[in-house]
Amino acid sequence: MFSMAASIAIECLRFTGLFEAELLTELLLRFWQHPLADNSEFRSGLLESATEVLQASVDGERLFDEVEPKNVNFVAALWYAESVSVSEPGEMSASEQAQRAQWLSTLLKVLPSCFCNPELLD
């Protein structure tokens, strides 16, 4: 049984190596209409980036103003990884950037509990 005293970030980092992490990534992208949901290379890259976000959180790096590093979860890590990509658009079109930014905004609205410390949910 998972203890709230344990680090959510550590548990989520362990999760990233499982098939279920790939599945959840794809489901989150498809359900909320991310423009690159059908691109398997993008999904793999996003999962890899989310893994790096979780590792940084485990190492104590503060990536969210509202969330302690130990409380960063898998969904928040995916969101953060994508937000970094969208903020550095490179060769993406303005339309793609807007669609990806909309996906980020949607996740914040529909899954707000993923972006706060768990003790606030009690």
- pLDDT digit string (tens) for 70-103? 999 999 999 999 999 999 878 899 999 999 999 9
Q: Are 22 and 84 in contact (CB under 8 A)?
A: no
- Tell me what pLDDT residue 57 has: 97
Task: Tell me which residue of 54, 36, 101 sits closest to 64, measured CA to CA.
Answer: 54
- Tell me what pLDDT residue 2 has: 41
Task: Tell me which residue of 85, 11, 72 sits closest to 43, measured CA to CA.
Answer: 85
- pLDDT digit string (tens) for 5-61? 469 999 999 999 999 999 999 999 999 999 999 999 999 999 999 999 999 999 999
Contacts of 72 (CB under 8 A, 6+ apart): 8, 9, 12, 53, 54, 57, 63, 64, 80
Q: Cα–Cα distance between 85 and 74 in angstroms, integer?
A: 17
Task: Tell me which residue of 75, 86, 74, 84 sits closest to 108, measured CA to CA.
Answer: 75
- Tell me what pLDDT residue 90 has: 83
**What are the residue boundaries of the structural domains of the chain, listed by start?**
8-121
